[in-house]
A and B are shown apart, each in its own frame.
Chain A
Amino acid sequence: MKILFFGQLVEVVGTKELIIEGITDIHALTSSLHQQFPLLAQSKYVVAVDQEIVSGNQHLHENNIVALMPPFSGG
């Protein structure tokens, strides 16, 4: 499963893109990522699955593209 990171999250995880396997839902994905990148747990972001923002948990398939998107404030 492809995971995309946006904004400051790229600095937090050190990459724009990750491939993760064996993840079945969003909660499992985020808790696995938070474990791997503790600073990510302190960051605010929303999750988009296949370019649609989702709230709450959702089942994930291997061919989903998941994006973690933080809020931007600059102007």
Chain B
Amino acid sequence: MSQGPSYERYHRQMILPNFGLRVQRLLLKSKVLVIGAGGLGCPVLQYLVGAGVGYIGIVDGDQISLSNLHRQTLFAIDDIGLNKAAVAAKKLSQLNSDVIIEAFTFHLTNHYALDVMKDYDIIVDGTDNFATRYMINDACVLLKKTLVYGAVSQYEGQVAVFNHFLPNGEPSANYRDIFPDPPKEGSVLNCVDAGVLGMLPGIIGSMQAAEVIKLITGIGEPLVNQLLTYQFNNHQVFTVKITPQSKTSSFIPTDATAFKSIDYVWLCSSPPNTLEINAAEFDQLTSQKNIDIIDVRELHELPVVQTFSHLRIPLPDLKESAGQLKNDTVVVFCQSGMRSLQAAKELSALWGDTKRVYSLQGGILSWIRFAEKK
């Protein structure tokens, strides 16, 4: 955007009180990253590009599917199977060539998040899972970026502005000031499992776009230190005040290295089929057929177990070797039950509910004590 703003294109917003050329120029200079180009991301993108926000990044690794079209209004039948960020970028550039649009056609993980996000002024969360939402929140805190949050659940939606720096130099509340640690994925349903009407993310996404415009232009009062809940069924709005909590910082990684080492998917994973079993239950399973029993300790660890047949796959190699496990029931053990619990969670995350995975509580030491008594 080397020339001045197009008066004709932006005329209807520029004639608003407190808007004008100066404010339009602010928009054209702003950089906004929209993470997720789905039900929320589509309206956010359409309105921000329409309004002339000068630099827009779009992150989405998903492909467009038929079931997206009822709410993801940037996409059409011919786009099915194509990457959302790429298609969105193409359509949006047809809407407004003033705007420089960059598409990131991958799922944002904590390995690239800081690099992708650092060049933008405002981050918009239009994602659909807790793992990514917590990761984005933490990244915004680390990078000191304002986060415009939006989420839906069946007939209700939420909007908030997190981690916005106030005139006193302090950041406003962030998502972890409401929910310090993530709920387990699956304990709260997403759109796939719970269903959603297309208009609801349309409304919530439009509200997110409005918050971005308010933040950039200084017009109105953005939802700082507030969480707005919108009820689709009766158009009622319920806004609650959020206060930054001193304990929140203990939940947020202290630096980029710590951030990158967090397994956000793991934090939110709650494999319902992972179950710890005690030594007696384990003992029973050792005599059964069609079960894979695995010692996940390192190969040099003692005692070596010879009483029942089992495989030895140290924990670091387990995911890689998981394909060799053919039985539908898998029992893992280690020395004291810690590593095997982790192994069970990893396997469950890998297999979903297609296999039953058990971890021996208290490890092989507890089974040895049990066997001696027997």
Contact = CB atoms under 8 A, between A and B. Distances in A.
A72 B153 CA distance: 6
Interface string B4-45: 000000000000000000000000000000001011110000
7 contacts: A8-B189, A44-B188, A72-B157, A72-B158, A73-B128, A74-B39, A75-B127
Nearest to B35: A75
Given A52-B240, A73-B190, A44 B179 contact: yes
Contact of B194 (A4, A71, A74): A74
A42 interface: yes
Contacts, number: 94
B277 interface: no
Contacts of A74: 39, 128, 151-154, 189-191, 194, 196, 201
Interface in A26-75: 42-44, 46, 48, 51-53, 55, 67, 69-75
B188 A75 contact: no
A55 B239 CA distance: 17
B297 interface: no
B337 interface: no
Given A46-B178, A53-B227, A75 B243 contact: no
Interface of B: 36, 38-41, 125-130, 133, 150-154, 156-158, 177-179, 183, 185, 187-191, 194, 196, 201, 227, 229, 238-243, 245
Nearest to B200: A74
Nearest to B248: A55
Contacts of B36: 75
A6 B155 CA distance: 10
Nearest to A44: B183
Contacts of B238: 4, 6, 51, 67
A14 interface: no
A7 B154 contact: yes
Contacts of B41: 75
Contact of B188 (A46, A55, A72): A72
Contacts of A4: 238
A72 to B, nearest CB: 4
Given A73-B151, A75-B201, A52 B245 contact: no
A24 to B, nearest CB: 22
Q: Which 9 A-B pairs have the closest CB atoms?
A: A72-B151, A75-B128, A72-B153, A44-B183, A74-B191, A74-B152, A48-B240, A52-B241, A75-B40
